[in-house]
Chains A and B, each alone.
Chain A
Amino acid sequence: MSLWEYANPRKFMATTDRLVGPLFLLAALCLGTGLTWGFFFAPDDFRQGSTVRIIYLHVPSAMMAINTWIMMLVASLIWLIRRHHVSALAAKAAAPVGVAMTLMALFTGAVWGQPMWGSWWEWDPRLTSFLILFLFYLGYMALWSSVENPDTAADLTSMLCVVGSVFALLSRYAVNFWSQGLHQAASLSLDRDENMSNEFWLPLVVSIAGFVILFIALVLLRTRCEIRLRRVRALELRERVP
């Protein structure tokens, strides 16, 4: 039993067929709990008042925006090294989810920034690097959609993803250099004993879990869809040959 078994599309389809439904259910449960808790039962912040509640959408979506790119990078590397088609398709399937997450993080940030900072948009390093990440996603998806041969497309987009990761990281630190930050530091981290008080932290963790599971479910669903599309394409090509 190893992870590589799922490089076989048939095995992948069979397993995910059973997984996708429960995952969506679990995601709905976590998101429902976390967001309801956060929006209606968690206390107001001492200084920010009720606007603090947007954290339950903003932080998880921002985390997933970055993690989606990392997942795409890993999947691209697997495609480049071991040439498993499922991996390339998973990277392709993840990109629109990542765009949605990035947009959500940018949008909720703007909604929060208007009352708190007094402006919808600031050229702050974190905000700017998210905008750049968004552009990378757009370029990645545009390249996928414009190359006809699927294997070539997978090759090219994987190369773009690898090179883009390096440059995205470089941009992340370059914008630090270019502008002073307004955005607060990360409020969650694994290597600190205390992050924030429990009444904010618990609903946040639940909604982060919800976002992670939702992401996995969406990517699996979209990958299944891509595999089916690939099969349809293969059938069509076979019909056309004789």
Chain B
Amino acid sequence: MIRLVLRDLRLAVRAGGGFGLALAFFLIACVLVPFGVGPESGRLASIAPGMLWVGALLACLLSLDRIFATDFEDGSLDLLATAPLPLEALALSKSAAHWLTTGLPLSLVAPILALLLNLPSAAYGSLVLSLLVGTPALSMIGTFGASLTVGLKRGGLLLSLLVLPLYVPTLIFGAEAVSRAAAGQGNVTPLLLLALVTLGSLAVLPFACAMALRGNLR
């Protein structure tokens, strides 16, 4: 499993892996927001928590179809499926690799972009924390979506249609945690609920992914 994660990491970081794309997309999305809503700092501050979360979510979505697609095209997914490693573990390590290449860097650069959007300084810690807690759920749910659409020719659009409704609870709890911190309120409850979504997805969705992959590779 660890070797699989490392292999995916190497593939992502090398040329053509699209490692920085999600980060660049996140940056552009956050830069576009002030153009859309105007540069008043008060208004930006009030929408910053939500916009940062939505931006991170869309950046995450962007790279989902690469989770299985490249492996499916060159046939290595078939090899991995026949390997002694169970498909559940394959799904889990794929989503771990996805998280390490998108969710983790997104959480780490988020404070810099929060500066652009004038997020109140009290919320920086919560922003990073909530993204760190919440993005694994995004990766795991996205892996499920990717395993549903792996064999399809134009899976990308369908993938976002399938995955976005599934992202709703994560987004609500994550953005709520940040905006409560920005308003100076306690935000333990949304963070705990966010952790619940993440842990629940990590526990259950690998099995769903494996079933979907079996259906697709049959």
Binding site for B on A (CB under 8 A): 80, 132, 135-136, 138-139, 142-143, 146-147, 151-152, 155-156, 159-160, 162-164, 166-168, 170-171, 174-175, 177-178
Contact = CB atoms under 8 A, between A and B. Distances in A.
A142 B162 contact: yes
A158 B172 CA distance: 26
Contact of A142 (B144, B161, B193, B204): B161
Contact of B197 (A143, A170, A178): A170
B58 interface: no
Contacts of A159: 148, 208, 211-212, 215
A188 B152 CA distance: 44
* B: contact size bracket: 20 to 34
B172 A175 contact: yes
Given A142-B158, A143-B158, A155-B215, 15 more contacts: A132-B168, A135-B164, A139-B161, A155-B211, A156-B216, A159-B211, A160-B148, A163-B144, A163-B205, A170-B197, A174-B168, A174-B169, A174-B172, A177-B173, A178-B172
By secondary structure, the B interface counts as: helix
Contact of B215 (A132, A152, A168): A152
Contact of A167 (B149, B154, B169, B216): B169
Contacts of B190: 177
B166 interface: yes
Contacts of A135: 161, 164-165
Contacts, number: 78
B8 interface: no
Interface string B120-158: 000000000000000000000100100011011010001
A148 B1 CA distance: 32
Nearest to A80: B211
Nearest to B214: A155
Interface string B163-197: 01110110011001000000000000010010001
Contact of A177 (B152, B158, B172, B208): B172
A139 to B, nearest CB: 4
B218 interface: yes
A159 B211 CA distance: 8
